């Protein structure tokens, strides 16, 4: 591999490399799913039939690895660009909500959810960090791509509370993109308590068009009681609508349980459905939905007390060396939302 100097021009050149390779692959008529590790750039790119789908990235500025960005089969971006690649007209709140990720807001009293490089150093020092360790396996194929990674959940004192082993499976077809995420969390030498909080767990921050229209600014408070104001913006082209497996729609889905949740809308002239499926064997099934109109689309199976006004409590615990497995599927579908199709897709996933 050629060594590049570290100047601005070289960095710009490196930034163009993935796009150039994508173009070459497309011209060559590439078929199937390609998984391309680029450790020097702290990323693994995923292409379907030569076209970019998503990337697993762990830039130094983030406090967790994420999948970013995510595209439809037609190439439309469905994730927010900020803070990695800001776009005109999008919100700039909650800088820790990036791409598609998994973490939690209270692990033995430490917040892994709300950490970002925008925090004052003294506050950031109290947060947890999910550190990418290595790519265990990366392979493409005619009908799927596979990525296995090892991570650790690092406490403020530098110790690892949890070891994480995550497998991603990527698939694509006409009008369809699919991501399976299977994550095994294993406690270290100490017991790990996931105390009930709404700040978790599997999160996706969506593009502006998939938000729900809002005419007034809103204020949201995190688990530490710190408020964040989400300003009202121009609602032109903003048309996202949630629909749950339980028949609930719109903003009312927040804090409810369901085996699946869909978010549909038109993005760049294309009808898009984001469908997130919860597996029956997951802890806390059926999950609660921490789904907000401002663009946060999250499944939280562990925050029962926060979502039931204290009527239920989970406080999920792992003894030293014990593990828990979480298995989810995200489908990016082109076309209008169909409740029957969503249920059928969940039924197939549940048998997996």
Cite the beta strand spans of 188-269 per DSSP E.
192-194, 200-205, 218-221, 227-230, 241-244, 260-267
Q: How far apart are CA 169 and CA 176, in angstroms?
A: 14
Element (H, E) at 45: strand 43-48
User: Does residue 51 form part of some domain?
Assistant: no
Per residue in 73-86, pLDDT (tens digit) is 999 999 999 999 99
At 210 the pLDDT is 98
User: Does residue 24 form part of some domain?
Assistant: no
Q: Which residues contact 8 (CB under 8 A, 6 or more apart)?
A: none
User: Does residue 18 form part of some domain?
Assistant: no
Reply yes or no on whether the pLDDT at 297 is more than 50: yes
Per residue in 25-56, pLDDT (tens digit) is 443 457 999 999 999 999 999 999 999 999 99
- Residue in this structure with the two tokens 């439809």, named with its chain if needed: 72
User: Does residue 105 form part of some domain?
Assistant: yes
Three-class SS state of 342: helix
User: Does residue 44 form part of some domain?
Assistant: no
User: Does residue 177 form part of some domain?
Assistant: yes
- Is residue 3 a contact partner of residue 40, using CB atoms and an 8 Å limit? no
- Is residue 256 a contact partner of residue 246, using CB atoms and an 8 Å limit? yes
User: Does residue 336 form part of some domain?
Assistant: yes
pLDDT band of residue 106 (cuts 50, 70, 90) is very high
Per residue in 110-169, pLDDT (tens digit) is 999 999 999 999 999 999 999 999 999 999 999 999 999 999 999 999 999 999 999 999
Reply yes or no on whether the pLDDT at 225 is more than 80: no
Mean pLDDT, all residues of the chain: 91
Q: How far apart are CA 109 and CA 157, in angstroms?
A: 13
User: Does residue 184 form part of some domain?
Assistant: yes
Q: Which domain holds residue 267?
A: 56-350
Q: How far apart are CA 159 and CA 59, in angstroms?
A: 21
Overall number of domains in the chain: 1
Closest by CA position to 111, among listed 125, 98, 99: 125
Per residue in 246-296, pLDDT (tens digit) is 999 999 999 999 999 999 999 999 999 999 999 999 999 999 999 999 999
């Amino acid at each position: 591999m050629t060594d590049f100097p570290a100047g601005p021009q070289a960095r710009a050149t490196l930034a163009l490399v993935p796009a150039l390779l994508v173009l070459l692959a497309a011209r060559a008529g590439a078929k199937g799913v390609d998984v391309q590790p680029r450790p020097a750039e702290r990323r693994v790119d995923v292409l379907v039939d030569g076209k970019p789908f998503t990337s697993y990235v762990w830039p130094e500025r983030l406090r967790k690895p994420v999948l970013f960005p995510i595209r439809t089969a037609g190439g439309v971006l469905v994730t927010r660009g900020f803070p990695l690649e800001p776009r005109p007209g999008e919100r700039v709140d909650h800088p820790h909500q990036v791409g598609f990720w998994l973490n939690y807001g209270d692990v033995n009293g430490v917040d892994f959810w709300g950490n970002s490089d925008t925090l004052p150093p003294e506050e950031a020092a109290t947060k947890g960090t999910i550190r990418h360790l290595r790519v265990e396996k990366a392979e493409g194929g005619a009908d799927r791509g596979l990525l296995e990674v090892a991570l650790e959940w690092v406490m403020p004192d530098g110790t690892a509370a949890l070891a994480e082993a995550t497998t991603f499976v990527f698939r694509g077809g006409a009008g369809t993109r699919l991501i399976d995420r299977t994550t095994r969390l294993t406690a270290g030498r100490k017991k790990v308590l996931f105390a009930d909080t709404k700040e978790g767990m599997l999160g996706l921050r969506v593009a502006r068009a998939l938000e729900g229209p809002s005419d007034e600014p809103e204020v949201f408070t995190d688990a530490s009681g710190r408020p964040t104001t989400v300003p009202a913006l121009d609602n032109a082209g903003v048309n996202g609508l949630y629909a749950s497996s339980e028949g609930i729609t719109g903003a009312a889905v927040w804090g409810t349980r369901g085996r699946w949740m869909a978010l549909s809308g038109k993005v760049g002239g294309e009808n898009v459905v984001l469908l997130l499926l919860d597996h029956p064997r997951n802890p806390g099934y059926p999950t609660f939905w921490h789904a907000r109109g401002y663009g946060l689309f999250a499944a939280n199976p562990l925050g029962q007390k926060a979502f039931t006004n204290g009527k239920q409590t989970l406080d999920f615990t792992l003894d030293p060396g014990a593990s828990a497995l979480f298995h989810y599927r995200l489908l990016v579908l082109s076309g209008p939302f169909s409740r029957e199709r969503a249920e059928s897709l969940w039924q197939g996933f549940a048998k997996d």
